């Protein structure tokens, strides 16, 4: 899924992700968010025009990096249908959360692709995968062997001899194949579609109001307040899914194998963007500074 905020890096990261996965996907779909930017997305550096975004998407399609380009369909009918299924409340107005994250776009993309499994990467993610290894095949083996696993992702951050250093509240499965969590991350994952559907609808979360008594209202009342008076902003979809996981027997799994791992860049500085091609080249070779081991957010100062 791409928006105008992704223009500074998407032509590097998206081909990189497809190349690293090296998997015969049924479809590789690029979803385009055409909605006005909101939240902290408004102040992102390097925001381009919708025309520039479409031109980049067309280049990726022409180059065979993706198979299909789809605009997110924001019609009222579509929004109500998807919110009814995923959130249990059709009459929710916002399509993005308080930070500008595209909640509706995420749900739309999940429903728009075929297959028993759905794979998603945020468009700024980086991935290493050792030649001859497939994190996707390993994930499907986990799904087949462990009915309580709802989603799988590669190791978060390069391997560290003592395990993940940036994460908390997880356990290593006794079989040693994956770390398991009762929380969700939306940056990179493969879903077992049927197991994910077991969680639905996930609980709706609204951002706290400045007026205290409004915070004590039940969720249904907050939803109608939003619908009638356009008050309130949606919270994090990650946390909504996390709340559903907490009240289920399902877990998210991070593969333990050091043969595949991801990095997430928070940096959007000119220095980082200039160095991005060389950073991706190092990642694709499995190279990283020792200080990066165990951490999934890229430590830019050690890469430049």
**What pLDDT, in 10s, does the model give residues 97-151?**
999 999 999 999 999 998 899 999 999 999 999 999 999 999 999 999 999 999 9
| Cβ pair 37, 3 in contact under 8 A | yes
**Residue 277: both structure tokens together:** 């091609």
β-pairing, 170-172 vs 178-181, is: antiparallel
| Mean pLDDT of the 275-300 span | 97
- The per-residue pLDDT for 217 is 86
pLDDT the model gives residue 238: 96
Q: How far apart are CA 54 and CA 31, in angstroms?
A: 11
Q: At residue 202, does pLDDT exceed 90?
A: yes
Q: Say what the pLDDT of residue 69 is.
A: 98
For residues 15, 274, 126 and 279, what is the CA-based torsion angle, rounded to 10 degrees? 110
Query: Residue 272 — very low, low, confident or very high, per pLDDT cuts 50/70/90?
Result: very high
Note the pLDDT of residue 295.
96
Note the pLDDT of residue 45: 82
Residue 227 is predicted with a pLDDT of 79
Are 267 and 298 in contact by the 8 Å Cβ rule? The answer is yes
Alpha carbon of residue 266 to chain centroid: 14
Going by pLDDT thresholds of 50, 70 and 90, the confidence category of residue 210 is confident
The pLDDT score that the predictor gives to residue 16 is: 98
The helix (H) or strand (E) run that includes residue 150 is strand 149-153
Sequence length of the chain is 304
H helices of the chain, where? 10-21, 50-62, 76-87, 103-112, 135-145, 193-199, 212-215, 219-229, 237-246, 270-284
User: Quick one: which of 264, 260, 290, 300 has its CA closest to 160?
Assistant: 290
| Three-class SS state of 283 | helix
Q: What is the mean pLDDT of residues 209-214?
A: 82
- Which positions ≥6 away from 140 have C-beta within 8 Å? 117, 190
- Please name the residue that has the structure tokens 């249990």: 88
* pLDDT of res. 225: 86
- Tell me the β-bridge partners of 181: 170, 252
Long-range contacts of 284-291 (CB under 8 A, 24+ apart): 284/16, 284/19, 284/20, 284/128, 286/128, 286/130, 288/158, 288/263
Average pLDDT in the 225-243 region?
Answer: 90
Residue 5: closest CA among 51, 61, 53? 53
Percentage of the residues of the chain whose pLDDT score is greater than 90: 85
Q: What is the structure's pLDDT at 40? A: 87
Give the per-residue pLDDT at 214. 84
Instruction: Answer with the residue of higher pLDDT: 28 or 218.
Output: 28
Supply 165's token pair.
Answer: 């250093």
What does the pLDDT read at residue 236? Answer: 96
**Cα–Cα distances in Å, from 161 out to 105, 138, 229, 258, 293?**
38, 21, 53, 10, 9
Start-to-end CA distance of the chain, whole Å, equals 28
Mean pLDDT value across the chain: 95
pTM of the full structure: 0.93
Q: Is the backbone of residue 208 left (phi > 0), alpha (psi -120 to 50) or beta?
A: beta
């Amino acid at each position: 899924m791409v928006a105008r905020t992704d223009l500074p890096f998407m032509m590097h990261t998206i081909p990189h992700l497809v190349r690293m996965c090296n998997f015969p996907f049924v479809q590789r779909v690029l979803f385009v968010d055409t909605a006005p930017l909101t939240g902290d997305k408004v102040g992102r550096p390097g925001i381009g025009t919708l025309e520039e975004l479409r031109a980049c998407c067309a280049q990726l399609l022409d180059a065979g990096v993706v198979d299909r380009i789809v605009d997110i369909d924001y019609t009222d009918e579509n929004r109500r249908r998807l919110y009814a299924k995923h959130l249990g409340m059709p009459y929710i107005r916002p399509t993005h959360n308080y930070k500008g994250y595209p909640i509706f776009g995420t749900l739309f993309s999940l429903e728009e692709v075929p297959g028993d499994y759905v794979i998603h990467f945020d468009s700024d993610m980086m991935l290493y995968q050792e030649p001859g290894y497939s994190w996707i095949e390993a994930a499907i083996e986990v799904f087949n062997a462990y009915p309580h696993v709802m989603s799988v992702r590669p190791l978060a951050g390069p391997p560290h001899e003592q395990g993940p250093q940036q994460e908390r509240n997880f356990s290593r499965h006794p079989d040693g194949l994956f770390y398991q969590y009762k929380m969700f991350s939306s940056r990179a994952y493969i879903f077992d579609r049927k197991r994910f559907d077991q969680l639905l609808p996930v609980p709706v979360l609204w951002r706290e109001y400045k007026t205290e008594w409004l915070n004590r209202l039940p969720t249904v009342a907050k939803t109608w307040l939003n619908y009638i008076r356009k008050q309130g902003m949606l919270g994090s979809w990650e946390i909504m899914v996390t709340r559903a996981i907490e009240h289920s027997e399902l877990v998210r799994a991070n593969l333990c194998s050091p043969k595949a791992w991801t990095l997430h860049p928070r940096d959007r500085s000119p220095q980082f963007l200039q160095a991005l091609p060389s950073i991706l080249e190092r990642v694709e070779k499995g190279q990283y500074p020792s200080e990066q081991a165990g951490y999934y957010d890229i430590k830019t100062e050690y890469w430049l």
